[in-house]
C-alpha cells in the first residue's frame, strides 16, 4: 500500500446512476468531489434503463397532497411520511433542474412537460422522454458532469467502506485488473442502486447486485424493510436468456390490456376499477395467479396486447419496446407480447432522514439503496424522482460536512488484502454460487412467501455463504466480492420477510392471515443492522 | 420447454499488457434457444474461461456497453442473436483486454452544453427536432468504423451528433460551430458507414454533419474550395468546369436502341459524367442500345445539388431541384436512371420526385442483358458509398461484373475518400483514404478495379496503378470482345 495510491477528497460519491450523478453535481459546489462507479457513466445501473417516467406535480388540477396520498396508498402506508413529503414537494423543482440543464423531455402542444398516466395514481403525472426517460436523465447529468470539476473514477468498484471510529471515512475499491485503490473523504454518499439480481428473474442491470446494502450493513448502518421487493408484473419470458427484461408500465399506461391464454381479460377479477392500471403488486399477483392456476401461455406468462392501438401511436410512444420485440421476432403492432412478473425494485434499504443522512456519521445515501420512501410498494415513476430529490439532498448534506484530517487505518486495508487473498484459495466458481442463490431466492422469497419456505431458504443461504468463492485471476476478485454482497443482501431480504408476520404491499405471506387493512397495521418498519434486528410496532 | 444447442464460436483474445498481438480462441458452449452473443460470452466466462473480458450492463440494448464485432460487423452483444461459427472481436478501438475497448476517453470528449441559468422549456417542435439525435446510446460503433478518423483529425460521428443536438437546443447559449470545425466537421466524407452500423439507426451525416455545415455556411465558415463549387453551380448550373465537349453536347435528346425496344428510361447524367468523364456515359449508351433500352436525355437538366447538400450550401438547392424535376416530368418520363452514385442517392433521398429513380445497375439487371464475352481478367469491385449505403445496392453490380470477367474477387468495403467535399476541400485526407483503398486492391491481386461512381473512378485511379473502370465500360469491352471472337 503506497501513500500515492490514496485518493483524497471532500465528498466521495459511490455510484454514477441518477442518484449518484445528481449528488455529485450538487456536492461539487462545496469542495473536491470524486464520483466512483463500477460502470461507465450512463452505461451502468438501472437509471439508464428506466423507460416509463418521472412523477412530478406540475398541473393546476393535480396537487401535492394527492401525490402524497397516492404514494402512501401505493406503499401500503409503510412509507416514512417525512421522506414522502420531501419527494413530492421537490420532485417538480428537480424536474425543472433537468429541463434547465437541457433534458429533452416530451412537451405538449401548449408548451408544458408532457405527462402520462401510470399505475396507482389518480392524475397522469408521469413526465417522460419517449420510453427512454432514465436514459435522457443520465445523458443530461453526464453532460452536466462533463462540464463540472467532479473527478470520475470509472469502472472501479467499492468493496468496503473505510471507518474512522464510528464514522465512515472513505472506501476501498478495485479497478478492472483487481488493483486496490483507497479513497479518503470527509463525507461519503452511497448511491449504488438496487439489487434484484439476487433473483433468477430480474429487470435489473448487471450492476444491480446490491453492493450498497452489504457495504452499508457491514459498516454498521441500519436498513429498513428489506423484505419489500417489488415484482414488476410485466417482464419478458422469451428468449430464455433475456427473461425478466422489463416491459415498461407505459405499455399499460398507453392502453395495453392483459389477457390470459384462454383469451380472457382477467384483471376485472382482481381490481375491477383500475384494471390494468392497478398498482404493481396487485397486477403481479394477478398474473402469477393466472399462471399458477393453469391459465398461462406455454412460456409461463400471459399476453399483454397493444394491437388495438394505432401503429403510429406505438411507434411514437413505445419505440424501444417496439424495437426490442422486433429483434426477438415479435411485432407488437400486430402481435401480443408474452409477459410474467420479474423482480424489479427493492423498496427497503438504508434508513435515511430527509437530509439523506444514514444512521452512521459520515455516510449519506440516496436512490434505490435507501429505504422508507416507497414503503411496501413503489409507484411507477417515483424512483426516478427519488434519485433527483434525494440525490440533491445527499450531495448537499455531504458537501456541508466538516472538513477533517484524513488518516488511513492500515489494519482495515490489510483486512481487505486478506479477504482478497483468500479468494485465490477459493473452491467454488462465483457463478455456481449465484446460480443456486438466484433460483432459491426466486422460489422462496418471491411473490408468494411462507415461513417454512423462508426458513429453508435461510438455511440454503447459510450453506451458500460457507462456500468459498474462487478467483482464477486478479480480474475475478471482484466477482467474488459481488457474490458475498449478494449473499448479504439475500439474507437481509429473508430475515426481513421472516420478521414481517403480515401481508403488506409487495410482501405476501400466504401462511399468515392478515386481519387488518394496511393503514391499520400494527407494524412499522422492519430494521436490521449488525447490532440487531426487529420490527417496529407491537405484536397484536 | 427450453431447448439448448451447442455453438462453436471464435473469440478474439488480447491483453496488451502481455501479448504482442491478438489471437483467436475457439469455444463450444451449450446455448439456449434465442441466445444472444452476450449469453454465449457469459457461458464462456462462467464455464470455460473466467479470464475472458467483455463489457455489458443493461442486457437490453439501452446502455451501449456491449458493442463488439460479430463476423466483422459491429453489433450490440446483448441484442444480436448468437450463431454457430460466429467470430466475435472487439470494436476497432484501443483494446483494454479481449473484447473490452477503451470508451471513456472518447466519451469524455462529447461536448457538454452550457445552458442559461433561466433556460426555458423548448417548444414541442424544438424538442421533436432534437429527439432523433438523442436516441444515441454512445456505444461508439460509429466512431470505431468511421474512415475519416483513420486518416484525419476527427473526433467522430457521434461527437458531431452531440454538436448538432446542442446547436438545435435553444437552451444552449454558446455558439460552438467553430469548435465543431476544430473537431473535424469537414473531414466527413458522408460515406454513411456510421449510419449503417448504428444500432439506433441515427442518421448522423444527414441529420447532423450536413446541418452543421449549413450553420458553418451561414457564418461564412465554409471551406474556400467548397464556396467556389457553389458559385460555379450558381453561375453555370454545373459543379465542374467545362474542359472538353460535354456528354450533353455529344448526344441527341432521344437515343434509339439498335435492338428492338424493350424499355425506356430518362437519363440523369450528373456533372461528372457530363463534363469530366463523358466517355463512361457514352459507353453506357452503347450498352443500352445493344440491349433495347431507349434513353431519353433532357438537355435542360442541371447539377443535382449533391455537392452543395454535402457541404452545407443549400441556398441554391431549391432552384436546382425544381429545374431537374421539371426536365423529366415535362417529358412524361416514368423512370429516371442515374449512373453517378451521388446523384442517385441525392435524387432518391433528398428529392421528392414524381418519377422513380434507379441506378444503371438496377436497370440493367431488371431488364436482363445480353451476356458479354468474359474478359480474361481478375477484377475487384469497389462499393461506392452512395450506392451501397445511400441506395442499398450491392448485388446488382456484382451480378453484372461476374458476367463480364473471368474472375471476380471481393475486397473489404471502405470509403475511397472522394465524397462529402473532402476530395476538393481536404485533398490530403482524400489521398490518404485513396491509399488505403490501394492497399486493399493490391491484396486482392486484381488487374482491374470496377465501380459505378465517377468520383470513385476518378479518385481511386489517382491512388492506384491498376486501371479503374466503370461497369458499363467493362460491359462494352465484353461486347466488343464477343464481336471480335465472332469475327465481325
Ligand atoms: C428496467 C427498469 C426500468 C425502470 N423504470 C423506471 C421508471 O420508468 N420510473 C421510475 O421512477 N423508476 C424506474 N425504475 C427504477 C429506477 O430506475 C431505479 O430505482 C433508479 O434509477 C435507481 O437509481 P440509482 O441512482 O439509485 O441507481 P442506479 O441507476 O442503479 O445506479 C447505481 C450506480 O451504482 C454503481 N455501483 C453499484 N455498485 C457499486 C460499487 N460496489 N462500487 C461502485 N459503484 C457501484 C453502478 O455502477 C451505478 O453507476 C426502473 C428500473 C429498471 C431496472
Ligand atoms: S459518414 Fe462516413 S466519414 Fe462521415 S462520420 Fe459517418 S462514417 Fe465518418
Ligand atoms: S450514433 Fe449510433 S453508433 Fe454512434 S454511438 Fe450513438 S448509438 Fe452508437
Ligand atoms: S448491455 Fe447494455 S446495450 Fe448491451
**pLDDT(B320) > 90:** yes
CATH number of the domain within which B21 lies: 3.10.20.30
End-to-end CA distance of chain B: 70
Residue B410 resides in a domain: yes
* Chain B residues 165-194 within an 8 A CB cutoff of chain A: 169, 171-172
| B32 Cβ under 8 Å from any chain A Cβ | yes
Is residue B224 in some structural domain? no
Which ligand is nearest to the Cα of residue A71, counting in written order? 1
Q: Is the CB of B198 under 6 A from ligand 3?
A: yes
A49/B135 touch (CB, cutoff 8 Å), yes or no: no
Res. A249 pLDDT band, cuts 50 70 90: confident
Selecting among A167, A252, A449, A507, the annotated active-site residue is A252
Residue nearest atom 2 of ligand 2, based on CA coordinates: B191
Residue A281 is predicted with a pLDDT of 86
Q: Residues B242, B361: one domain?
A: yes
B357 lies in some domain: yes
Same-domain pairing of B431 and B470: yes
C-alpha cell at A515: 386481519
Q: A12 forms bridges with which residues in the sheet?
A: A34, A188
Residue A232 banded pLDDT, cuts 50, 70, 90? very high
pLDDT score at A411: 96
Q: Please state, in angstroms and rounded to a whole number, the distance separating the CA atoms of residues B115 and B124.
A: 18
SS3 B478: helix
pLDDT over 80 (residue B239): yes
B5 CB within 8 Å of a chain A CB: no
Identify the CATH number of the domain in which residue B167 sits: 1.10.1060.10
Considering its fold, how many domains does chain B have in total?
4
Mean pLDDT across the stretch A91-110?
A: 97
Nearest to A238 among B34, B114, B119 (CB): B34
At residue A163's C-alpha, the angle toward residues A161 and A165, to 5°, is: 160
Residue B201 CA: nearest ligand 3 atom is 2
Residue B1 has pLDDT above 60, yes or no: no
Q: What is the CATH number of the domain that holds B298?
A: 3.40.50.1860
Output the pLDDT for position A540.
41
- B353 and B378 co-located in one domain: no
B449/B420 same-domain check: yes
Assess whether B93 and B110 both reside in one domain. no
Nearest chain A residue to B104 by CA distance is A40
pLDDT attached to residue A126: 96
Q: What is the pLDDT confidence band of residue B426, given thresholds at 50, 70 and 90?
A: very high
Minimal Cα distance from A430: which residue of B?
A: B46
For B58, nearest residue in chain A (alpha carbons):
A205
B66 lines ligand 4 (CB under 6 A): yes
Q: Are residues B183 and B87 in the same domain?
A: no
Cα gap B76→B41, rounded to integer Å: 12
The pLDDT of residue B8 is above 80: yes
In this predicted structure, the answer to whether residue A251 has a pLDDT above a threshold of 80 is: yes
Range of the domain at B421: 372-487
B56 neighbourhood in chain A, CB within 8 Å: 206
Report the pLDDT value the prediction gives residue A3, as an integer from 0 to 100.
45
Assess whether B448 and B380 both reside in one domain: yes
Residue A538 — pLDDT band, cuts 50, 70, 90?
low
Listed residues B43, B75, B101: the one ending a domain: B101
pLDDT in tens, B259-299: 899 999 999 999 999 999 999 999 999 999 999 999 999 99
pLDDT of B79 strictly over 90: yes
Residues B402 and B437 occupy one common structural domain: yes
- Residue nearest ligand 2's atom 4 by CA: B188
Which protein residue has the closest C-alpha to ligand 3 atom 4? B142
pLDDT of A273 over the 60 cut = yes
Shortest CA gap A133–chain B (Å): 11
Residue A321 CA: which ligand is closest? 1
pLDDT value of position A239: 86
CB contact under 8 A, A143 and B121: no
pTM over 0.90: yes
Active site residue A436: no
Where among B218, B251, B284 does a domain terminate? B218
Name which residue sits closest to atom 2 of ligand 3, judged by CA.
B198
Bridge partners (DSSP) listed for residue A304: A258, A337
For ligand 1, pick from A43, A129, A383 the residue to mutate: most ligand atoms within 8 Å of CB.
Answer: A383
In this structure, are B361 and B380 located in the same domain?
Answer: no
Once rounded to an integer, what is the mean pLDDT over residues A287-315?
Answer: 94
Which of the listed residues B193, B199, B205, B209 should we mutate to test ligand 3's pocket, taking the one with most ligand atoms within 8 A of CB? Answer: B199
Alpha carbons B222 and B207: distance in angstroms, whole number: 18
User: Any residues with CB less than 8 A from the CB of A312 and at least 6 apart, and which?
Assistant: none
- Calculate how close chain B gets to A104, using CA atoms only, in Å: 6
Of B101, B118, B143, which residue constitutes the final position of a domain? Answer: B101
C-alpha cell at B385: 458509398
Find, in chain B, the residue whose alpha carbon is nearest to that of A17: B63
* A54 touches A126 (CB < 8 A): yes
> What percentage of chain A exceeds 90 in pLDDT?
90
Testing the interface with A: which of B56, B60, B155 to mutate, by most A Cβ within 10 A?
B60
Whether B58 contacts chain A with CB within 8 A: yes
- The reply to whether B58 and B14 lie within a common domain is yes
**How far is the C-alpha of A415 from the C-alpha of A172, rounded, in Å?**
11
**What pLDDT score does A316 carry?**
86
Is there a domain that residue B227 lies in?
Answer: no
Which of A102, A246, A429 comes nearest B50 by C-beta? Answer: A429
Average pLDDT over residues A234-241: 91
Helices within A379-532 (DSSP H only)? 382-400, 410-424, 430-444, 451-466, 477-499
What's the B60 CA to ligand 4 centre distance in angstroms?
5
Average pLDDT over residues B246-251: 96
Q: Would you say residue B160 lies in a domain?
A: yes
pLDDT at A8 over 60: yes
- Ligand 1: residue of A94, A134, A233 to mutate (most ligand atoms within 8 A of CB) is A134
Q: Whole-angstrom Cα distance, residue B262 to residue B337?
A: 15
Share of chain A above pLDDT 70, in %: 99
pLDDT at A350: 98
How many helices (H) and strands (E) would you count in chain B? 24, 16
Check if B18 contacts A (Cβ < 8 Å). no
Check if the interface score ipTM surpasses 0.85: yes
Residues 6 or more apart whose Cβ sits within 8 Å of residue A272: none
Rounded to a whole number of angstroms, the distance from the CA of A35 to the nearest CA of chain B is 14
Domain assignment present for residue B229? The answer is no
Instruction: Please work out whether the CB of residue B141 comes within 6 Å of at least one atom of ligand 3.
Output: yes
Which chain B residues touch A473 with a CB distance below 8 Å? Answer: 50-51
pLDDT, tens digit, 9 for 90 and up, residues B357-392: 999 999 999 999 999 999 999 999 999 999 999 999
Please state, in angstroms and rounded to a whole number, the distance separating the CA atoms of residues A179 and A474: 8
Task: Please indicate, yes or no, if residue B196 is contained in any of the structural domains.
Answer: yes
Residue-wise pLDDT tens digits, A147-206: 999 999 999 999 999 999 999 999 999 999 999 999 999 999 999 999 999 999 999 999
Contact B57 A476 (CB under 8 A): no
Identity of the residue in A101, A205, A476 whose CB atom sits nearest the CB atom of B115:
A101
**Does some domain include residue B350?**
yes
> Which domains are present in chain A?
237-341 (3.90.700.10), 410-515 (1.20.58.100)
Domain with residue B470: its CATH number is 3.40.50
Shared-domain flag, residues B472 and B393: yes
pLDDT at A539 over 60: no
pLDDT digits (tens, 9 = 90+) for B288-318: 999 999 999 999 999 999 999 999 999 889 9
Determine the distance separating the centroid of ligand 4 and the alpha carbon of B467, expressed in angstroms. 45
pLDDT, mean of residues A94-112: 96
Q: What is the mean pLDDT of chain B?
A: 96
- B142 alpha carbon – ligand 3 mean position (Å): 6
Using 50, 70 and 90 to split pLDDT, how confident is the model at A407?
A: confident
**A437, pLDDT greater than 60:** yes
Looking at the fold, whether B247 and B341 belong to one and the same domain comes out as yes
Per-residue pLDDT at A386? 98
Nearest to A43 among B59, B65, B96 (CB): B65
Q: How far apart are CA A253 and CA A262, in angstroms?
A: 23
- Annotated active-site residue A135? The verdict is no
**Which residues of chain B lie closer than 8 angstroms to A100, CB-CB?**
115, 117-119, 171
pLDDT at A319 > cutoff 90:
no
* Residue of A10, A167, A232, A504 marked active site: A232
User: φ and ψ at A403, to 5 degrees?
Assistant: -75, 140
Q: Is the CB of A195 under 6 A from ligand 1?
A: no
Of the pLDDT bands very low, low, confident and very high (cuts 50, 70, 90), residue A4 is low
pLDDT tens track for A340-389: 999 999 999 999 999 999 999 999 999 999 999 999 999 999 999 999 99
Amino acid at each position: 500500500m503506497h501513500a500515492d495510491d490514496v485518493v483524497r477528497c471532500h465528498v466521495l460519491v459511490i455510484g454514477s446512476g441518477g442518484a449518484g450523478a445528481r449528488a455529485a453535481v450538487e456536492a461539487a459546489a462545496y469542495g473536491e468531489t470524486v464520483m466512483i462507479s463500477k460502470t461507465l457513466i450512463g452505461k451502468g445501473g438501472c437509471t439508464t434503463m428506466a423507460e416509463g417516467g418521472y412523477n412530478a406535480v406540475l398541473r393546476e388540477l393535480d396537487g401535492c397532497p394527492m401525490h402524497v396520498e397516492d404514494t402512501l396508498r401505493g406503499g401500503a402506508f409503510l412509507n416514512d411520511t417525512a421522506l414522502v413529503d420531501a419527494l413530492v414537494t421537490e420532485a417538480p423543482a428537480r424536474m425543472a433542474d433537468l429541463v434547465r440543464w437541457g433534458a429533452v423531455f416530451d412537451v405538449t402542444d401548449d408548451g408544458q412537460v408532457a405527462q402520462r398516466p401510470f399505475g396507482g395514481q389518480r392524475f397522469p403525472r408521469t413526465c417522460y422522454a419517449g420510453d427512454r426517460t432514465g436514459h435522457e436523465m443520465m445523458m443530461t447529468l453526464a453532460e452536466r458532469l462533463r462540464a463540472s470539476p467532479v473527478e470520475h473514477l470509472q469502472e472501479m468498484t467499492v468493496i468496503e467502506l473505510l471507518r474512522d471510529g464510528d464514522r465512515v471515512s472513505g472506501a476501498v475499491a478495485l479497478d478492472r485488473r483487481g488493483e486496490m485503490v483507497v479513497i479518503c473523504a470527509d463525507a461519503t454518499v452511497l448511491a449504488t442502486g438496487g439489487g434484484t439480481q439476487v433473483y433468477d428473474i430480474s429487470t435489473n442491470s448487471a450492476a444491480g447486485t446490491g453492493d450498497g446494502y452489504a457495504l452499508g450493513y457491514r459498516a454498521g448502518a441500519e436498513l429498513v424493510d428489506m423484505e419489500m421487493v417489488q415484482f414488476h408484473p410485466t417482464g419478458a419470458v422469451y428468449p430464455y436468456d433475456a427473461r425478466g427484461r422489463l416491459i415498461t408500465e407505459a405499455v399499460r399506461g398507453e392502453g395495453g390490456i392483459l389477457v390470459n391464454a384462454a383469451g380472457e381479460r382477467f384483471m376485472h377479477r382482481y381490481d375491477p376499477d383500475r384494471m390494468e392500471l392497478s398498482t404493481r403488486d396487485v397486477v403481479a399477483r394477478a398474473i402469477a395467479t393466472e399462471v399458477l392456476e393453469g391459465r398461462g401461455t406455454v412460456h409461463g406468462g400471459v399476453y399483454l396486447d397493444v394491437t388495438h392501438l394505432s401503429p403510429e401511436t406505438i411507434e411514437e410512444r413505445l419505440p424501444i419496446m417496439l424495437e426490442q420485440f422486433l429483434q426477438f421476432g415479435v411485432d407488437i403492432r400486430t402481435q401480443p407480447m408474452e409477459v410474467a412478473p420479474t423482480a424489479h425494485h427493492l423498496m427497503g434499504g438504508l434508513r435515511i432522514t430527509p437530509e439523506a443522512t444514514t444512521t452512521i456519521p459520515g455516510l449519506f445515501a440516496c436512490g434505490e439503496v435507501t429505504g422508507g420512501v416507497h414503503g411496501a410498494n413503489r409507484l411507477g415513476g417515483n424512483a426516478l424522482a427519488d434519485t433527483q430529490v434525494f440525490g440533491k439532498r445527499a450531495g448537499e448534506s455531504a458537501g456541508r460536512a466538516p472538513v477533517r484530517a484524513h488518516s488511513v487505518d492500515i489494519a482495515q486495508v490489510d483486512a481487505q488484502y486478506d479477504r482478497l487473498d483468500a479468494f485465490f484459495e477459493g473452491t467454488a466458481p462465483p457463478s455456481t454460487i449465484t446460480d443456486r442463490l438466484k433460483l432459491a431466492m426466486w422460489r422462496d422469497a418471491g411473490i408468494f412467501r411462507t415461513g417454512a419456505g423462508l426458513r429453508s431458504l435461510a438455511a440454503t443461504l447459510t450453506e451458500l455463504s460457507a462456500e468459498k468463492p474462487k478467483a482464477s485471476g486478479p480480474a475475478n476478485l471482484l466477482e467474488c466480492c459481488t457474490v458475498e454482497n449478494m449473499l448479504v443482501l439475500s439474507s437481509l431480504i429473508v430475515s426481513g420477510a421472516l420478521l414481517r408476520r403480515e401481508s403488506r404491499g409487495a410482501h405476501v405471506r400466504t401462511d399468515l392471515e392478515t386481519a387488518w387493512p394496511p393503514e391499520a397495521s400494527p407494524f412499522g418498519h422492519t430494521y436490521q443492522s449488525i447490532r440487531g434486528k426487529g420490527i417496529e410496532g407491537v405484536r397484536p | 420447454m427450453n431447448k439448448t444447442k451447442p455453438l462453436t464460436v471464435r473469440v478474439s483474445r488480447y491483453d496488451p499488457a502481455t501479448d504482442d498481438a491478438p489471437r483467436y480462441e475457439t469455444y463450444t458452449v451449450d446455448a439456449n434457444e434465442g441466445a444472444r452473443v452476450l449469453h454465449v460470452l457469459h457461458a464462456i466466462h462462467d464455464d470455460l474461461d473466467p479470464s475472458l473480458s467483455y463489457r455489458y450492463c443493461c442486457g437490453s440494448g439501452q446502455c451501449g456497453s456491449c458493442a463488439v464485432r460479430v463476423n466483422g460487423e459491429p453489433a450490440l452483444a446483448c441484442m444480436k442473436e448468437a450463431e454457430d461459427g460466429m467470430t466475435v472481436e472487439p470494436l476497432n478501438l484501443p483494446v483494454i483486454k479481449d473484447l473490452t475497448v477503451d470508451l471513456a476517453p472518447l466519451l469524455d470528449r462529447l461536448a457538454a452544453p452550457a445552458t442559461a441559468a433561466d433556460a426555458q422549456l423548448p417548444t414541442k417542435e424544438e424538442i421533436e427536432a432534437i429527439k432523433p439525435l438523442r436516441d444515441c446510446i454512445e456505444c461508439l460503433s460509429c466512431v470505431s468504423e468511421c474512415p475519416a478518423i483513420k486518416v484525419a483529425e476527427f473526433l467522430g460521428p457521434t461527437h458531431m451528433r452531440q454538436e448538432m443536438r446542442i446547436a438545435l437546443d435553444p437552451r444552449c447559449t454558446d455558439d460552438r460551430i467553430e469548435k465543431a470545425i476544430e473537431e473535424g466537421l469537414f473531414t466527413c466524407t458522408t460515406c454513411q458507414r456510421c449510419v449503417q452500423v448504428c444500432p439506433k439507426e441515427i442518421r448522423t451525416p444527414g441529420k447532423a454533419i450536413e446541418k452543421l455545415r449549413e450553420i458553418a455556411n451561414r457564418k461564412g465558415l465554409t471551406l474556400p474550395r467548397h464556396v467556389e463549387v457553389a458559385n460555379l453551380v450558381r453561375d453555370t448550373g454545373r459543379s465542374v468546369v467545362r474542359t472538353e465537349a460535354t456528354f450533353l453536347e455529344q448526344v441527341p435528346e432521344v437515343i434509339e436502341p439498335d435492338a428492338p425496344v424493350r424499355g425506356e428510361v430518362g437519363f440523369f447524367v450528373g456533372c461528372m459524367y457530363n463534363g469530366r468523364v463523358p466517355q463512361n456515359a457514352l459507353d453506357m449508351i452503347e450498352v443500352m442500345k445493344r440491349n433495347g433500352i431507349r434513353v431519353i436525355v433532357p438537355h435542360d437538366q442541371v447539377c443535382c445539388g449533391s455537392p452543395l447538400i454535402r457541404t452545407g450550401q443549400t441556398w441554391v438547392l431549391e432552384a436546382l431541384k425544381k429545374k431537374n424535376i421539371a426536365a423529366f416530368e415535362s417529358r412524361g418520363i416514368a423512370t429516371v436512371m442515374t449512373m453517378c452514385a451521388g446523384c442517385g442517392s441525392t435524387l432518391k433521398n433528398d428529392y421528392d420526385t414524381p418519377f422513380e429513380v434507379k441506378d444503371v445497375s438496377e436497370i440493367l439487371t431488371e431488364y436482363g442483358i445480353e451476356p458479354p464475352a468474359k474478359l480474361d481478367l481478375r477484377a475487384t469491385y469497389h462499393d461506392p458509398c452512395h450506392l451501397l449505403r445511400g441506395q442499398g445496392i450491392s448485388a446488382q453490380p456484382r451480378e453484372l461484373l461476374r458476367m463480364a470477367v473471368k474472375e471476380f474477387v471481393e475486397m473489404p468495403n471502405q470509403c475511397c475518400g472522394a465524397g462529402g467535399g473532402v476530395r476538393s476541400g481536404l485533398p490530403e485526407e482524400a489521398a490518404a483514404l485513396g491509399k488505403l483503398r490501394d492497399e486493399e486492391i493490391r491484396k486482392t491481386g486484381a488487374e482491374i478495379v470496377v465501380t459505378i461512381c465517377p468520383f470513385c473512378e476518378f479518385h481511386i485511379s489517382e491512388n492506384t496503378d491498376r486501371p479503374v473502370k466503370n461497369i458499363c465500360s467493362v460491359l462494352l469491352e465484353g461486347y466488343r470482345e464477343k464481336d471480335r471472337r465472332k469475327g465481325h
